[in-house]
Amino acid sequence: MIAPTAIVLAGRRNPPYLKAMVQPISARLHDIAGPAQGRVASAILWGATGIGGLALLAAAMLWFHYGTAVFFEMITAGISACF
């Protein structure tokens, strides 16, 4: 039940707003967690996969360009610079 003060705040000329406010919470959660949630998760997964692939590609390029000894020295220097 909507209190009379809420009706005054919402305005009497906006019944769709009041109908949306009266629906149960479970109906709203079902509408929100629809197919869009799957698309967002898929986009995050593809983005993380792309970034991981680029990092592996960059590591392989460094490995082939500088050789193993210099490659490992650069990685250790980078890690020690972070900490």
CA 54 to chain CA centroid, Å, is: 20
In this structure, what token pair is assigned to residue 6? 């809420």
Q: Report whether pLDDT(3) > 80.
A: no
State whether 47 and 73 are in the same domain: yes
Residue 72, domain extent: 35-83
Contact yes or no for 33/25 (Cβ under 8 A)? no
Q: From the CB of residue 57, how many other CB atoms can be counted at a distance below 10 Å?
A: 10
Q: What distance in Å separates the CA atoms of residue 45 and residue 33, rounded to the nearest whole number?
A: 18
State whether 41 and 24 are in the same domain: no
Q: Which DSSP letter does residue 6 get? A: H
The rounded mean pLDDT for the chain is: 75
pTM > 0.75: yes or no: no
State whether 79 and 58 are in the same domain: yes
